[in-house]
Structure 1
Amino acid sequence: MLTSDQKVILRELSLYTTFLAKALSPLAAPTFCELLLGGMLSGEGFVTQALLTIHYENFWNSYHHWVSQGKWRWRNLAHRLILLVSSKVPDGQTIPLILDDLTLERCSDKAPACRIHHQHSKKKNRCTYLLGQCWVFLAIPFHRPSDKVHTAIPVMAFPSPKSGNISKLKIAKAMLKSVRQSLQGRALRLLTDCWFMNHTMMQPALELGYEVIGHIPKNRALYALPVDALPPSPFKRKGRKRKGRSIQ
């Protein structure tokens, strides 16, 4: 027989699962619920480990096919997750966000967006260069009401591609724009590390209404353009770009 605490947990879990499943079609909702519960029970985050912890109804390959080639939009699911997590922050208070990147080690280079990365943390039990996937995460931190422990829930994550012109800064800007569209009218505060603290990411974040907090390296200067600076020429010319008129 279930206790009162267990009944509360099951009721909250059913409400959260139903809220997230509304972002998907009725045919895809059962598959999503199975993978969601399997991922929470396994704690690994892999589809195979999630299926080994539950009694799945469909064929084994159908779950992998739904994740990779299914007709569903991850943006809609991320939008529902952002609304769910931000609902725990009282109205009128600023919603904090954490932006950071993480390298997940892989044994095979056949994994999507898998390449050689430099290990910036300089941990002694790891090599200087490692094979893995570089992910950009955006999380919402808060205090857990049960034990007042600081925790963070990732609401959006996207891997940095192996090739092309899409960088981590472009991925971060797209995430911030998507969160702003989901949380219109709410005050947002962004916390990030020194790698993202540059004009390419800070200026769009400030224009979207974010409060940016981060550490700026000593070798990076932030400055405004001169008032009498010449506009950039629409024609491409040889040599370096013009610095503008000198101030007399």
Structure 2
Amino acid sequence: TFIELLIGAMLTPAGFVTEAYWVVTMRNHWSSYYKWLQKGHWSWLGLSRQFVRLILKVVKQEVIHLVIDDTLTLRASKKAPGSQIHHQHGNKPNLAQYVRGQCWVSLAWVIRREKQPVALPLLTRLVPGISNTGKRVAAKTLIRAVYRLLDGRKVRVLVDGWYMRRIFIESMLARGFDVIGQVRIDTRLYDEPPKRKKGQ
């Protein structure tokens, strides 16, 4: 099936469709899958949900680990969707401190394959702006797209410090998900106790 082809493409080192075709036992000739990829019309959201159902059927885990992270795709054109000037957090020596690019927030499911962790990508969303608020909104949107399929299961969401804010954490807890992430030292998740008056 087409879902099996996509899984094979994600698990092969290079991620090419031709490699996936040889890894997975397919029913049709390889050209039919290329035509489907080029001319077919489908819902990426529906495809992602079907992928989640397939993982639930094949992979047996007591705890489901979801990972949310963002990545920057460099762009030269200002006309590219979501093309903005971003701070280059990777501190790569061959790049400027500020670069033009697209920021993508991705949701993946981490499983173990032959004792090695493998991240299966579920959905990716383009962040239209450069604020961290936009990243958190995108992350919540990705979770909202698939969370009903995970109802009644123990789920942990792993994120980095940019997402560890009250609005995101409370949203995950409301769905019954645990959140694991490093909180920045300048971020407070609780209110300070009132100061005592002298003599009390």
Q: TM-score range by the shorter chain?
A: 0.7 to 0.9
Q: Sequence identity of aligned pairs in percent?
A: 31
SS of 1:167's partner is helix
Return the alpha-carbon distance in structure 2 between the equivalents of residues 150 and 105 of structure 1. 28
Among 115, 140, 153, which residue is 2:120 paired with? 153
Return the alpha-carbon distance in structure 2 between the equivalents of residues 105 and 19 of structure 1. 25
Residue in structure 1 matched with residue 4 of structure 2 by the alignment: 17
Residue in structure 2 matched with residue 77 of structure 1 by the alignment: 47
Task: State the Cα distance separating 1:39 from its structure 2 match.
Answer: 4.7
TM-score by length of 1: 0.61
Amino acid at match of 1:109: K
- State which drifts further: 210-219 or 118-127: 118-127
In our comparison, the structure showing a higher alpha carbon Rg is: 1
SS of 2:51's partner is helix
Residue in structure 2 matched with residue 120 of structure 1 by the alignment: 89
SS of 1:78's partner is helix
TM-score by length of 2: 0.74
Task: State the Cα distance separating 1:178 from its structure 2 match.
Answer: 2.0
Q: CA offsets per residue over residues 158-178 of structure 1, 9 Å max, x none?
A: 0001499x8111111121222
Task: Name the count of aligned residue pairs.
Answer: 179
Residue in structure 2 matched with residue 94 of structure 1 by the alignment: 63
Among 173, 181, 193, which residue is 2:140 paired with? 173
Return the alpha-carbon distance in structure 2 between the equivalents of residues 139 and 114 of structure 1. 24
Task: State the Cα distance separating 1:42 from its structure 2 match.
Answer: 8.0
Task: State the Cα distance separating 1:140 from its structure 2 match.
Answer: 0.7
Return the alpha-carbon distance in structure 1 between the equivalents of residues 6 and 70 of structure 2. 28
Residue 71 (structure 2) pairs with residue 132 (structure 1): no
Residue in structure 2 matched with residue 41 of structure 1 by the alignment: 18
Residue 178 (structure 2) pairs with residue 208 (structure 1): no
Please state which structure has a larger fraction of its residues in strand: 2
Residue in structure 1 matched with residue 23 of structure 2 by the alignment: none
Return the alpha-carbon distance in structure 1 between the equivalents of residues 172 and 58 of structure 2. 23
Gaps of 5+ in 2: 8-14, 21-29
2:86·2:130 contact (CA, 8 Å) conserved in 1?
no
SS of 1:131's partner is strand
Runs of 4+ aligned structure 1 residues displaced above 4 Å come to: 53-58, 245-248
Q: 1:42–1:18: structure 2 CA closer, same or farther, 3 Å change rule?
A: closer
Q: CA offsets per residue over residues 17-54 of structure 1, 9 Å max, x none?
A: 3899xxxxxxxxxxxxxxxxx953389xxxxxxxxx96
- How much is the aligned-residue C-alpha RMSD, in angstroms? 3.4
Q: Which has the higher contact order (CA 8 A, sep 6+)?
A: 2
